[in-house]
């Protein structure tokens, strides 16, 4: 308790600087300047129905939650679904994915007052937090309000686990306060148990249950057919990766179109300028025009269209893995039947990476130069591409079912809450 007191003091002392950072980020992402009062627990809307609350911090978690949210809406139609986010891109993804079928709000800052106001306002019957979102005051307030919280699609890398252990005097009570834990793998379950989580259950990865959007996939296939040449996709890149990957491309010798899709929308213009230094200013997805036959690059500057980009490409290089960021989701590419090339840093997707490598759906390389060599080789090898793509689809089919396992735990806790 004493450690949470000092943690709360630190949070409160940092809040003025956090708000200034929000305002600064709002220059490029206006969403950060909207509904700021919600971050302090002041909400101007509610639900007339009992609420199931799910927290998805950003884009990846919002997408991963989709099969679970759809299942909750189908089975518990008498409940409203509230989804909270932390980032502007995550909130926009929620709106694009679910429209008006869910409520969306900012998660409050982790102070006792803000978290209590949040819970007192929405009165959720059940809470689910996606992947690795542990907030000591929030979970303490949930216990105070008798709101059971499930860690959904839980993952814990070795590096993150070491970080939590260093602060175990603060985080261990938070983990122990979870009602249930759904872990992606045995390794995740073991690390979460070591941190104090109660009896983690291995339920699998919800991302295997995500089916590519059929309309986007059809549009991507049509786009690639109209293009008439190989497409190399560099997907979900982080700052600095575009330069190292583009520098590794040969100056000539390939007619492949290189499609670059940055991870964060605030970097679209920055990456367009970077690509423009390599050649002429790139055609952009947001402009709707097809790239000309002489163009080498195309900028994927749209949100929520990864199914389009994966259907439109022959090979996908996954960003976030060439700098020490831990990678990005490779399962979407596997589900689309696309061969995957990964960099060395995939610790946030360790289990999915292991499975994809063992299945022959992915290749992992040590650096950007090797990635471009392997990817261009695959562009020129249709037989190998077909084999890897088939392995990716089979992998995703074999590992579906996490949604049903999550849903069973939700049923148990909602029944218990109804009895209380």
| Residues noted as catalytic | 61
Which residue has tokens 């059940």?
A: 126
How far is residue 54's CA from residue 204's CA, in Å, rounded to a whole number? 18
- Residues 6 or more apart in contact with residue 363 via CB below 8 angstroms: 339, 340, 341, 342, 357, 374
Report d(CA 360, CA 83) in Å as an integer: 36
User: 385: how many CB neighbours lie within 10 A of its CB?
Assistant: 18
List, in order, residues 6 or more apart from 113 with CB less than 8 Å away: 41
Tell me how many degrees the CA angle 365-366-370 measures, rounded to the nearest 5.
65
Q: Of 300, 298, 315, 322, give the one whose Cα is nearest residue 245.
A: 322
Phi-psi label, residue 253: left if phi above 0, alpha if psi -120 to 50, beta otherwise: left
């Amino acid at each position: 308790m004493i450690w949470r007191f000092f943690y709360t003091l630190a949070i409160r002392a940092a809040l003025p600087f956090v708000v200034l950072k929000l305002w600064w980020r709002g220059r490029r992402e206006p969403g950060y300047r909207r509904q700021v009062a919600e971050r302090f627990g002041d909400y101007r809307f509610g639900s007339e129905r009992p609420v199931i609350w799910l927290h998805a911090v950003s884009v990846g978690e919002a997408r991963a939650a989709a099969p679970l949210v759809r299942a909750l809406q189908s089975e518990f139609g008498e409940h409203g679904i509230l989804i909270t986010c932390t980032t502007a891109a995550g909130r926009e993804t929620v709106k694009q994915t679910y429209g008006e079928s869910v409520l969306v709000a900012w998660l409050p800052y982790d102070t006792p007052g803000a978290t209590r106001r949040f819970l007192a306002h929405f009165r959720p019957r059940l809470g689910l937090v996606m992947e690795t979102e542990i907030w000591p005051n929030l979970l303490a307030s949930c216990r105070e309000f008798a709101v059971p919280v499930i860690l959904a699609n839980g993952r814990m890398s070795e590096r993150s686990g070491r970080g939590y252990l260093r602060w175990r005097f603060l985080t261990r009570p938070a983990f122990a306060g979870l009602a249930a834990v759904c872990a992606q793998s045995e390794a995740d379950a073991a690390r979460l148990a070591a941190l104090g989580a109660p009896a983690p259950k291995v339920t699998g990865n919800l991302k295997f249950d995500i089916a590519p959007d059929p309309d986007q996939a059809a549009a991507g296939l049509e786009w690639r057919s109209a293009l008439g040449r190989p497409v190399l996709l560099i997907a979900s890149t982080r700052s600095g990766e575009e330069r190292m990957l583009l520098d590794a491309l040969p100056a000539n010798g390939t007619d492949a179109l290189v499609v670059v899709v940055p991870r964060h929308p605030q970097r679209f213009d920055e990456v367009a300028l970077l690509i423009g230094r390599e050649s002429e200013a790139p055609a952009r997805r947001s402009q709707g025009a097809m790239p000309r036959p002489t163009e080498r690059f195309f900028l994927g500057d749209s949100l929520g269209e990864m199914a389009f980009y994966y259907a439109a490409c022959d090979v996908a290089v996954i960003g976030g893995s060439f700098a020490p960021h831990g990678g990005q989701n490779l399962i979407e590419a596997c589900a689309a039947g696309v061969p995957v090339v990964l960099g060395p840093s995939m610790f946030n997707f360790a289990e999915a990476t292991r499975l994809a490598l063992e299945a022959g759906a992915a290749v992992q390389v040590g650096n950007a130069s090797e990635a471009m060599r392997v990817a261009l080789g695959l562009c020129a090898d249709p037989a190998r591409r077909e084999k890897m793509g088939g392995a990716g689809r089979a992998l995703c089919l074999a590992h579906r079912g996490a949604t049903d396992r999550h849903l069973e735990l939700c049923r148990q806790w909602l029944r218990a809450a109804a009895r209380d």
